[in-house]
Amino acid sequence: MKKANESRPKLAVWKFASCDGCQLSILDLEDELLALASEIEIAYFLEATQTASDGPYDLSLVEGSITTAQDLERIKTVRRQSKALVTIGACATSGGIQALRNFRDVNDFLAVVYADPGYIDTLATSTPIADHVAVDFELRGCPVNKYQLLEVVTAFVFGRKPMIAAHSVCMECKMRGNVCVTVAQGIPCLGPVTQAGCGAICPAYDRGCYGCYGPQDTPAMSAMTDVLDAHGMSRRDIQRILSTFNANATPFLEESQRHGTADD
């Protein structure tokens, strides 16, 4: 138990190439935020406050992927200042939707998007944080589940294992009492190959899972795409459903490429 005069662990929250949605999940912890702030010192969190204190930090939460040379250097600085580093969200854990650039010539995008591409200095790829520095834990999701985020922060504060399951969405879908949308309605669903954590939200509203939590710990990709095919998904649609927020996650990437390229 913590003594009143004991110093609180210092938390830092960092943004790389991302939409900020995962950081916002911290602020979405409306009922728990005061307790969180009283137990840990929020030392660096620009999304929430301009007041920032210097490192080192006990725990760094890192959102976003590496897409620029500057960020590649900055993540190394963050790592050096952090006792523990946890990546949060699809961008930080797999490269995010922006990793679609990895499969095309980034200069083609620049030419289309920017009036004067010469001002843009970017890497050809979007890559997860763990490709560049040691990561202590990866929390999946697009965005992350705020209760899973609280569990991870709490676990690191107390030096215990985070209770975050790596099994399929199907298991939490059945635990929630949903009827399988694939079996009962013929809706293609990525639940069998996708990691749990969302609470099986999409199937609960009669939609197929689209894989925003990335691959489960042992995804059976070939068996999955056989099922998608059997439920009427075209080869192109299979290629595309696996090329979204976790397009760069190896199992999704390889199976997507087995079904053609983005140009098809």
Binding residues for another protein, rule: CB under 8 A, are: 1-2, 32, 35-36, 38-40, 150-151, 153-155, 157-158, 160, 163, 165-168, 170-171, 174-186, 189, 191-193, 206, 216-220, 222-224, 226-227, 230
Cβ proximity to another protein, 132 vs 174, nearer residue:
174
Cis peptide before 143 (omega within 30 of 0): yes
| Smallest distance, another protein to C-beta of residue 7, A | 15
Least separation in angstroms between CB 169 and another protein: 8
| CA-closest candidate to residue 18, choices 76, 73, 66, 75 | 66
Supply the minimum distance, in Å, between the C-beta of residue 217 and another protein: 4
Q: How far is the CB of 245 from another protein (least distance, A)?
A: 20
Instruction: Give me the least distance between CB of 101 and another protein, in Å please.
Output: 30
Nearer CB in complex with another protein: 3/112:
3
Nearer to another protein, 69 or 183 (CB): 183
Indicate the residue among 111 and 175 with the shorter CB distance to another protein: 175
Cβ proximity to another protein, 119 vs 158, nearer residue = 158
Q: What's the closest the beta carbon of residue 261 comes to another protein, in angstroms?
A: 25
Q: Tell me the DSSP string of the chain.
A: ---TTSPPPEEEEEE-BS-SHHHHHHHT-TTTHHHHHHHSEEEEETTT-S----S-EEEEEEESBB-SHHHHHHHHHHHHHEEEEEEEHHHHHH--GGGGGGGS-HHHHHHHH-S-GGG----S--B-GGGTS--SEEE--SS--HHHHHHHHHHHHHT-------SBHHHHHHHHTPPPHHHHH-----GGGBBS-S-SHHHHTT-----TT-B-SS--HHHHHHHHHHTT--HHHHHHHTSSTTTTSHHHHHHHHHT--TT-
How near is the Cβ of 45 to another protein at its closest, in Å? 16
- Say if residues 245 and 211 touch (Cβ distance below 8 Å): yes
If the CB atoms of residues 100 and 237 are measured against another protein, the closer one turns out to be 237
Helical pair 250-258 and 221-230, crossing angle rounded to 10 deg: 50
- Of the two residues 43 and 193, which places its CB atom closer to another protein in the complex? 193
